[in-house]
Chains A and B, each alone.
Chain A
Amino acid sequence: MGQRIRASFLGLGFIGIMSTLYLGLMWAPSVAIDAFDSPAAQKIFYWHVPSAWASFIAFTVLFIGSGLWFFKRSPTGWRLHVAGAEAGLATGLMTVWSGTVWASAEWGTPWDWTDVRLNTFALLTLLALFLVLGRRSQPDGVETRDTFSAFGLFGFVLVPFTYIATRFWVIRHPGPVVAAGSDGSLQSEMALVLFIGAISFTIFIIGHILTSMHITKLEQRVEMLQSEIDKGG
């Protein structure tokens, strides 16, 4: 896929994300003063929710890539795995960071170790960090790819688990916002900004994944050329 297309996705996504931030901070109404302990901090949701949505897309890509490598030995699958892990790490960190800022204001503590959703999501992000750092610590090979793909497959079990966690074990974290069903009580302006955010993050993460896959492909080509030189020398 051409460089222009990848750059377009990244550029469009970036503009959308910036627009979401502007609209969220300047245009969307604040929540009712009695809805939260710290209503002003709620505006961070316009960053937190779309980045969480994008992270689930990235983790899905990680899962598909891991499965394609593990079961089919597909080189494209491995590139998807690498791209999904990197995108999952980036968006996961955005989500965790913004969540802790909000939790500090709303709950008075940045983290709750007994909340199932917080902890399973943190594990997903740590899994992505493990896959990114771990892959760089090992020489490329089938053993490396098999092991990390197996972890990628295992990690995906946590995605639906994390999503439904607030439905079954609500301790502190609010319930689902994206695809929550008809009982959601968001005002239309708020929903619109969240929608623009989700679309923008989705476009950006697609651009990120395409770029990352391209870089991995180039890395593999360099390695192949180097081993050809080794054989020739």
Chain B
Amino acid sequence: MSDILLAFESVEIRRGMGIVVSDFSLQVSSGEVVVLHGENGCGKSTIIEAAARILPIEKGQVLQHGELVIDSEGRRKVPTVPFGLTLQQNGLVGSDTIAEHLGNMMSICQTKTNLATVLKQYSLGHRSNDLIAHLSGGQQRKVSVITGLLPAMISKSPRLILLDEPDSGLDDSAIQVLCQHITSLRLAGHAFLIATHDERILKCATRINNLKHDTEQKPPNGDAWQLPEVEVTKPNNWLMTGFAYNLKTKAGFANNGIAGFLTLGILLSMVEPFELNNLLGLKMGFVLLPAFVAGLCGDPVVNLLRENRALDWWQANTATPRAIIIPIVTGAVLTTISSYIFLENLQYIVIVSGSLTTLICSLIIGFLQLSTNKLSRPQAVFIRLLTPILILPWSIVVNELIAYI
């Protein structure tokens, strides 16, 4: 018997208040292409997202490669074997180039290869160094589909690929290439779970599942996928990915740094530093305020990844990249400048405090943002109402620093 790469065991999933999927069991083995087929709203995407650990499940459990990845008790585990995922909303970050985004997927798989041929097949060869934001909708979809197929394309051992409506927005020739890839990767032993209405992709299936019954069918024959030359790389590091995103997009400066500098400017417009000579408490508050405000702007990488469900894509595949280094630097720079202006000297302990203030505040706000990410409208949820509690520890730090100095 071939390896079971994905198993749903009596799974029940709710969306909104309704039960969308009830008592659903399915196994997808190596060398199989299972297509979920049914009318809109029947739960195809729900199943794909539950398999990727994006949606919580009410009953049952989901296993990948025999290991539990999510269950109804709330246990969630990043799969030890990387898998491919194409969401309906692409999951791409506009400030990445195609090469960078595919590079991220390859680093999650700890494998590197030259993808020029694949990109050429999807008519993207000349675009590999273009920003994703500069591509058309169809081209972005192609990138998302290639990203989904990538773990299988660069692996000798069987990989699970989850594709949600991969055909939407693709032109005929791209769908034809996609069908060829599905067939050749299947023949190489990889497994697919695909949600689609497209007849051409339906023909690639070994089984069609309408969420109630399976229907077996004979898929087309062809050549098995030839593994390109690959080399092993270091695993993806969420800290370095977050740093790279920050460096590339300057999101840390745009989100946090500018707010900090604006605060400094406002303080300077209100008062001349020499007027504070005998008011050490006020001076120290002014020194640490820009760093505090910068931290209150949250985690710039989390803000960035809210585009196109990129956060869901990252959370499904590995840990969420977070900004750690940039807030430390931002806080240190802001506090150095404000110390120089208001205290007229630079003290190591004050600068470290400013740096940690920005870091800790941005991490807490980032955590709050992530905790509401599963909501239908995470941006509309008033999470910032909880941030005033940070004023208390900030005030305590200011008081402690006054006492120390």
Q: Is B303 positioned at the interface, with any CB of A under 8 Å from its CB?
A: no
Count chain A residues whose beta carbon lies closer than 8 angstroms to a beta carbon of B: 27
The answer for the CA separation of A147 and B388 in the assembled complex, in Å, is 20
Q: A147-B372, A150-B371 are in contact. Are A141 and B386 (CB under 8 A)?
A: no
Q: How far is the CB of B99 from chain A (nearest CB, A)?
A: 35
Question: Per-residue CB proximity of B203-228 to A under 8 Å, as 1/0?
Answer: 00000000000000000000000000
Which of the 9-residue segments A4-12, A13-21, A128-136, A187-195 touches chain B? A128-136
Q: Is the CB of A119 within 8 A of B391?
A: yes
Question: Per-residue CB proximity of B56-97 to A under 8 Å, as 1/0?
Answer: 101000000000000000000000000000000000000000
Interface residues of A in 119-161 (CB under 8 A from B): 119-120, 122-123, 126-127, 129-130, 133-134, 137-144, 146-147, 150-151
Q: Is A3 positioned at the interface, with any CB of B under 8 Å from its CB?
A: no
The answer for the CA separation of A113 and B288 in the assembled complex, in Å, is 15
Interface residues of A in 50-66 (CB under 8 A from B): none
Q: A113-B392, A119-B391, A122-B388 are in contact. Are A138 and B382 (CB under 8 A)?
A: no
Q: A113-B395, A114-B399, A127-B386 are in contact. Are A140 and B17 (CB under 8 A)?
A: yes
Q: Is A116 positioned at the interface, with any CB of B under 8 Å from its CB?
A: yes
A-B contacts, 11 of them at CB < 8 A, read: A113-B392, A114-B392, A126-B386, A130-B381, A138-B375, A139-B377, A142-B15, A143-B376, A144-B375, A146-B374, A147-B374
Query: Who on chain B is nearest to A140 by CB?
Result: B17
Q: Is the CB of B377 within 8 A of A142?
A: no
Q: A113-B395, A130-B383 are in contact. Are A140 and B389 (CB under 8 A)?
A: no
Main secondary structure of the interface of A (DSSP, over half): helix
Task: List residues of chain A with CB within 8 A of the CB of B197.
Answer: none
Q: Is B14 positioned at the interface, with any CB of A under 8 Å from its CB?
A: yes
Task: List residues of chain B with CB within 8 A of the CB of A146.
Answer: 56, 374
The 8 closest A-B pairs by CB, nearest first: A141-B16, A119-B392, A137-B380, A123-B389, A130-B385, A113-B395, A114-B395, A142-B14
The answer for the CA separation of A227 and B52 in the assembled complex, in Å, is 29
Q: How far is the CB of B382 from chain A (nearest CB, A)?
A: 5
A127-B385, A134-B381 known, 5 other contacts, Cβ within 8 Å:
A113-B391, A119-B389, A134-B382, A137-B380, A138-B376
Query: Who on chain B is nearest to A134 by CB?
Result: B381
Task: List residues of chain A with CB within 8 A of the CB of B386.
Answer: 123, 126-127, 130
Task: List residues of chain A with CB within 8 A of the CB of B388.
Answer: 119, 122-123, 126
The answer for the CA separation of A130 and B383 in the assembled complex, in Å, is 7
Task: List residues of chain B with CB within 8 A of the CB of A114.
Answer: 392, 395-396, 399
Task: List residues of chain B with CB within 8 A of the CB of A126.
Answer: 385-386, 388-389
The answer for the CA separation of A211 and B140 in the assembled complex, in Å, is 51
Binding site for B on A (CB under 8 A): 113-114, 116, 119-120, 122-123, 126-127, 129-130, 133-134, 137-144, 146-147, 150-151, 223, 227
Q: How far is the CB of A228 from chain B (nearest CB, A)?
A: 12
Task: List residues of chain A with CB within 8 A of the CB of B383.
Answer: 130, 134
Query: Who on chain A is nearest to B19 by CB?
Result: A142
Task: List residues of chain A with CB within 8 A of the CB of B385.
Answer: 126-127, 129-130, 133
Q: Is the CB of A139 within 8 A of B381?
A: no
Task: List residues of chain A with CB within 8 A of the CB of B389.
Answer: 119-120, 122-123, 126
Interface residues of B in 8-62 (CB under 8 A from A): 14-18, 56, 58
Task: List residues of chain B with CB within 8 A of the CB of A130.
Answer: 381-383, 385-386
Interface residues of B in 269-325 (CB under 8 A from A): none
The answer for the CA separation of A147 and B369 in the assembled complex, in Å, is 12
Query: Who on chain B is nearest to A112 by CB?
Result: B395
Task: List residues of chain B with CB within 8 A of the CB of A147.
Answer: 371-372, 374-375
Task: List residues of chain A with CB within 8 A of the CB of B396.
Answer: 114
Task: List residues of chain B with CB within 8 A of the CB of A150.
Answer: 371
Task: List residues of chain B with CB within 8 A of the CB of A123.
Answer: 386, 388-389
Interface centre among B377, B389, B391 (most CB of A within 10 A): B389
The answer for the CA separation of A124 and B56 in the assembled complex, in Å, is 28
Task: List residues of chain A with CB within 8 A of the CB of B18.
Answer: 227
Query: Who on chain B is nearest to A128 by CB?
Result: B385
Q: A123-B386, A133-B385, A147-B375 are in contact. Are A142 and B16 (CB under 8 A)?
A: yes
The answer for the CA separation of A187 and B32 in the assembled complex, in Å, is 82
Task: List residues of chain B with CB within 8 A of the CB of A227.
Answer: 18
Q: Is the CB of B377 within 8 A of A137?
A: yes
The answer for the CA separation of A138 and B371 in the assembled complex, in Å, is 15
The answer for the CA separation of A227 and B396 in the assembled complex, in Å, is 52
The answer for the CA separation of A114 and B285 in the assembled complex, in Å, is 13
